[in-house]
Structures are given as structure tokens and as C-alpha cells.
Chain A
Amino acid sequence: GNSVTQMEGPVTLSEEAFLTINCTYTATGYPSLFWYVQYPGEGLQLLLKATKADDKGSNKGFEATYRKETTSFHLEKGSVQVSDSAVYFCALSDLRGSGGSNYKLTFGKGTLLTVNP
């Protein structure tokens, strides 16, 4: 079956440091890949996505490239801010069902990022 493995946290960085959160996946087909972010007290929000190999998703200074050869989708940001403190989830989608009528996301366990001023 499908699975997602992401680096365990917590990760603590100083403001303006470089961020990498590793994510690797196992899938039987050709999944779409996502990074979701959960700020304190809020629901999960889509941060970025990539739907095919070599696609790069980007948003709010974050980037991740869909690497089929290494089955990876690592999240990076060149200079983190205190406001980036949150839990980050890597996920993949498994489009199932007749006519695409059923969907399932497989998530990693989440990585807590704390950025100190």
C-alpha cells in the first residue's frame, strides 16, 4: 500500500535559517504529492502540491520538487520566519473509485517546526 515517511521533529531553527524537511513515499501508481501546514489552533491548509515527476510546487517561499527516481518530495525554504512555526505534513493522493468519485490522502506523521527570533 501507499505510505509517507517524513523526518521526525521537532525542528528548531533561528530566524533566517535554511529549512529542509525530508519526505519520502511509497506508492503503487503515480500519486500527486502535497505539503500541508497546520498553524496553532487552525485546520490543515494546503501549502503546495505537485502532480507529476519533476514538478516543483512553491508557495510563501517554500518549495518542493517531485523526484520520482528517489521517491522524495522534500520541503525547503531559504529563510524561515517566526510566523512559519507550525506542523508540516507531507501527503500523497490515491485517486480511487469509479469516475474518480472517491479520494484518499495518505499522510506522514507531521513535523513540528519552531522558529525562534
Chain B
Amino acid sequence: SAVISQKPSRDICQRGTSLTIQCQVDSQVTMMFWYRQQPGQSLTLIATANQGSEATYESGFVIDKFPISRPNLTFSTLTVSNMSPEDSSIYLCSVAGTTGANVLTFGAGSRLTVL
């Protein structure tokens, strides 16, 4: 399966700032996804990152708050904009696997704390 590297692994941010999370995959993949895991909660899909077109956002998530880039088939970024303490979460990048279209491989996640 694909190997996913995420950066940063963790960060502490100030309210009102923005942070960009990078996701690098060791092979070309068609579908990349961004998930959020808030403290004590399950993982929630933020958006699907599409190469060559705009990301597809899930209900409750908007592009102005979570802009996503997907410049090629191995890389994507998620920006968390104008952060507030409620954005403190683990953000995970994932890709669809080759063993089954609905089997996902995940990065280790980026743990953000907003003060």
C-alpha cells in the first residue's frame, strides 16, 4: 500500500492565524482525502482533493476555511484558515488503496492545538 508523509506532525498555533498541512504520497494516486478528528470524536471527512479541479467539500466544511490544493498525483495541502480553539484537532490525509477502491491508507496525522 501507499506510504503517506504528513507535515507538520504537530503544531501549536495562535488564534487568527492560518496553517498549511502537507501530504506527500510515495506513488501516484487518483483520490486523496482530508479527515478531521476532534478530541474525543470520530474521524470526519472534510473534503476530497481532486487533481486538476477544485476539491469537493462535505457538508459543514467550506473552501474559505479549509482551502485545499492538489497540484499533482502525489501531493496535496490543506490549510486551516483564521484558526480558533475549536479547530484544535488531528488532521489526517488519506488515499484510496489499490486492494479495494474503498480501502483507505492514512498518514500519521497532524495534531494542531490552537491557543
Contacts and interface: CB of A to CB of B under 8 A. Distances in A.
B48 A102 contact: yes
Task: Give the interface size bracket for A toward B.
Answer: 20 to 34
A100 B101 contact: yes
A34 B107 CA distance: 17
Contacts of B58: 104
B4 A109 contact: no
Contact of B40 (A43, A101, A106, A109): A109
Contacts of B45: 104-105
Contacts, number: 56
What DSSP secondary structure best describes chain A's contact surface? strand
B109 A89 contact: no
A46 B105 CA distance: 7
Contacts of B56: 102
B106 interface: yes
Contacts of B106: 36, 43-45
Given A103-B101, A105-B102, A105-B104, A43 B42 contact: no
B31 interface: yes
